[in-house]
Structure 1
Amino acid sequence: MRLSEKEISEKLESVNLPLSIKEALRAGLQGQQVTEVQFNEIISTVESDYEHSRVEPCEAVGVVAAQSIGEPGTQMTMRTFHYAGVAEINVTLGLPRLIEIVDARKIPSTPTMTIRLNQDYAHDRDLAREVAWAIESSSILHLGSIATDLAEMNVLIELNPGALEQRKITATEVADKLKEETGLAVALKENLLVMAPEEPSYRELLQLVEKIKRISLKGVEGIKRVVIRKEGDEYILYTEGSSIKKVMQFDGVDPAKIKTNSINEIGEVLGIEAARNAIINEATDTLREQGLSVDVRHIMLVADIMTVDGEVKQIGRHGVSGEKASVLARAAFEVTVNHILDAAIRGDVDDLKGVTENVIVGQPIQLGTGDVKLVANKR
């Protein structure tokens, strides 16, 4: 007798398996003609495979994870990937990117975002370009040219009407923004802006020019470039620079489908669970791009250790390794003398519970057979 979908769901609820496996079974059995005998055989096979894949008690998971990520890491190349487009965007990949991830760098060497748009904008190139121009940081060099008048000790900014229209900004708005940022008077004559430094000196004039060039007049500060690419039937934006919180607020942007390679930024904006997932995804993608396959559980263990305290910590002396309870484990990693001296001054006690410290003192580690204690009755 065939089981109905309702009966399959009810039977799956009583099975002692993780929720994700139950969901995968439910999806796989949907629409299939399965008898009770076949269903029991499927569950028996899955339970057997699940038990086999579980970590045994006292397994040295940390050492295995370190080996499993470290060995493929020796085969990784050091290269930068170029997104082809009108203006190419560089993305760090390979070993430098993996080091960046485990070091929990505040700002990646090449911060970038992938921005997907709402249905109304995703299929229209003109609307996608409007969103791109709204996001891209516009400096004075995008809108016109800048020159100095040494005779009058003035800075002359000639605005391009076409560029102003393209980026949806007026000459008056530019003048107001420059006045707000510099605190100096701005004279506007049609599309020509004239500014003078506080002190009429050549040095002040050059410093003012550099300051004006750095001012972001429109868009998100830090996003230097936005490239539009058509993938399938929709347009996707790729940025050089990252600011997920500000970009989410733009019309046309789908806030649920923004990706950034800045893990700390994800942690600050979306929370620690999102940061943990970002570490797993970024590390997996980096290894996969190099043609390397590492079991996701090893990467998940690293991500868990980095985020367990509610903030993203690096695996290094300023993070996970430097905060170990064991004095000898900390000393074995870096700055050996400092750790031992500080511990001696404080009178710290090492319980010798980890792998490193037991190896140092030459006794069995408390893992595998070393964790088993035998008690015998005296007769």
Structure 2
Amino acid sequence: MAEQFLSQEEVKARIESLRGVLPAKLVNELLNRLSSLRVSGRQLERVMKAVVAEYYKSVVDPGEAIGIVTAQSVGEPSTQMILRTFHYAGLREFSMALGLPRLIEIIDARRKPQVPRMTIYLKPEYAHNEEKAHEVAKRIQTITIENVAKSIDIDYFNSTIVVTLDEDALNYRGLTINDVKKALDRIKGKTGKVTVEGNTISVTVEVQEISALKRIRDKILQTKVAGIRGIKKALVVKESDEYVIYTEGTNLEAVLLLDEVDPTRTISHDIHEVAEVLGIEAARSMIIRELKEVLDAQGLDVDVRHLMMVADVMTWDGKVRQIGRHGVAGQKVSPLARAAFEVTVKNLIEAAYKGESERFRGVVESIISGRYVPIGTGYVELMLEHP
């Protein structure tokens, strides 16, 4: 006799019975996968049992030393990483830190990354049009007077800096000589004077010292004419069926205000900036994502839950903290645990001076003192009730 196939309502009802056993995400995934398939009662039962069995295999046992397992799981593969830098084809100076340098940046929660960068996604009407994507990239990239000038000379006799503009460079970036003049007007000072003659702009200042004139020239070179402050370069790259903008330098807040940008996918790889603009939960997600990208690029397979543990420890109190003596390790309650990490004598002297007490609740301090470690079987305490 042929097996009877279950109706979609019956399949859904049986899977819904797992709500108290499996996480909601797994139950919903089962519903999505199986509700549209023709399955018998026996087949569905086998699938449900297999999923529950696999789930229980992945659950952490009570008393598991998850902190130590996480440290080993991330630390051991990182010893196999290589020191290398990735360069975009055709742009040698447009580089980014990968491998071990990037991993150290993330774990140390560096305030300024070696190469701050952003990945900017565009809305559909711009993402699928190369010309429009390049126009957005030009608007984003910071344009200084140095980028649009043929030469900048100093007339020491008249205390004047003479800027000769490159008209082709101005046209390419959609700028005019008047745009450059407005930028110079902002920095000329109260006594300065800006005059325009053809494609030459002269800035006259009331200083006589050669060193002061050179400083003003350098300031003029770096004066912003257009673009978003902080973004040095912008490169348009085609990925699958859309154009994406990669930048060197970051300014997440300003970029998200642009109408052409898709704010739901655009990211900054500067974790502190993400925390300031989008909040600590976004920074936590960014740490997980960045760690996984670094490890995947090196072909190292680390369970994402270990990376989630690292991110949780770095962000649980609402701030991005490094894992080190100035962050997570240095803020442990246990004096012995702090002393075991780094600067042993200093930590012990400070603890004695402040009159701190040791509760022996952690792994490190228990090992130092020869006690049972509070993990595994040592996590269980038995009580005997006398008659």
Deviation of the 1:30 alpha carbon: 4.0
Describe the shift of the 1:91–1:350 C-alpha distance in structure 2 as closer, same or farther (beyond 3 A). same
Is the contact made by 2:159 and 2:207 (CA closer than 8 Å) also made in structure 1?
A: no
**Range with bigger deviation, 100-109 or 141-150:** 141-150
Deviation of the 1:123 alpha carbon: 2.1
**Range with bigger deviation, 142-151 or 269-278:** 142-151
Say how many residue pairs are matched: 379
- In the other structure, the counterpart of 2:17 is 14
Which of 343, 356, 374 is matched with 2:364 structurally? 356
The answer to whether structure 1 residue 375 and structure 2 residue 383 are counterparts is yes
- In the other structure, the counterpart of 2:76 is 71
- In the other structure, the counterpart of 1:201 is 209
Amino acid at match of 2:200: L
Which of 167, 170, 195 is matched with 1:164 structurally? 170
Deviation of the 1:120 alpha carbon: 1.2
* Superposed counterparts of 1:50-69, under 5 Å: 50-69=55-74
Deviation of the 1:355 alpha carbon: 0.5
Amino acid at match of 2:14: K
* Superposed counterparts of 1:178-217, under 5 Å: 178-183=184-189, 184-217=192-225
Deviation of the 1:87 alpha carbon: 6.0
Is the contact made by 1:125 and 1:235 (CA closer than 8 Å) also made in structure 2?
A: yes
Q: Deviations over 1:124-160 (max 9, x none)?
A: 2221111011000001121113222233231111122
Cα distance in 2 for partners of 1:272, 1:74 equals 29
Cα distance in 1 for partners of 2:96, 2:271 equals 15
List gaps (5 residues or longer) in structure 1.
none
The answer to whether structure 1 residue 287 and structure 2 residue 292 are counterparts is no
Q: Deviations over 1:9-63 (max 9, x none)?
A: 4433331211221222122214211223322221121111111111100011111
Cα distance in 2 for partners of 1:357, 1:206 equals 60
Is the contact made by 1:154 and 1:194 (CA closer than 8 Å) also made in structure 2?
A: yes
The answer to whether structure 1 residue 301 and structure 2 residue 306 are counterparts is no
- In the other structure, the counterpart of 1:337 is 345
If the length of structure 1 is used for normalisation, what is the TM-score?
0.95
Describe the shift of the 1:38–1:144 C-alpha distance in structure 2 as closer, same or farther (beyond 3 A). same
Deviation of the 1:249 alpha carbon: 1.7
Deviation of the 1:240 alpha carbon: 0.7
Aligned to 1:255, the other structure's residue is in SS state coil
Aligned to 1:322, the other structure's residue is in SS state helix
Is the contact made by 1:131 and 1:251 (CA closer than 8 Å) also made in structure 2?
A: no
Cα distance in 1 for partners of 2:188, 2:372 equals 67
Deviation of the 1:91 alpha carbon: 0.8
Deviation of the 1:228 alpha carbon: 1.3
Is the contact made by 1:86 and 1:227 (CA closer than 8 Å) also made in structure 2?
A: no
Aligned to 1:238, the other structure's residue is in SS state strand
The answer to whether structure 1 residue 326 and structure 2 residue 334 are counterparts is yes
Deviation of the 1:359 alpha carbon: 0.9
- In the other structure, the counterpart of 1:266 is 274
If the length of structure 2 is used for normalisation, what is the TM-score?
0.93
Amino acid at match of 2:154: T
Describe the shift of the 1:68–1:87 C-alpha distance in structure 2 as closer, same or farther (beyond 3 A). closer
Cα distance in 2 for partners of 1:21, 1:338 equals 49
**Range with bigger deviation, 92-101 or 149-158:** 149-158
Describe the shift of the 1:196–1:58 C-alpha distance in structure 2 as closer, same or farther (beyond 3 A). same
Describe the shift of the 1:212–1:7 C-alpha distance in structure 2 as closer, same or farther (beyond 3 A). farther
Amino acid at match of 1:2: F
Which of 37, 41, 48 is matched with 2:46 structurally? 41
- In the other structure, the counterpart of 1:227 is 235
Cα distance in 1 for partners of 2:384, 2:258 equals 71
- In the other structure, the counterpart of 1:312 is 320
- In the other structure, the counterpart of 2:145 is 140
* Superposed counterparts of 1:83-162, under 5 Å: 83-86=88-91, 88-145=93-150, 146-162=152-168
Aligned to 1:79, the other structure's residue is in SS state strand
Is the contact made by 2:295 and 2:301 (CA closer than 8 Å) also made in structure 1?
A: yes
Cα distance in 2 for partners of 1:209, 1:10 equals 76
- In the other structure, the counterpart of 1:175 is 181
Aligned to 1:256, the other structure's residue is in SS state coil
**Range with bigger deviation, 360-369 or 338-347:** 338-347
Is the contact made by 1:143 and 1:159 (CA closer than 8 Å) also made in structure 2?
A: yes
Aligned to 1:97, the other structure's residue is in SS state helix
List gaps (5 residues or longer) in structure 2.
none
Describe the shift of the 1:310–1:10 C-alpha distance in structure 2 as closer, same or farther (beyond 3 A). farther
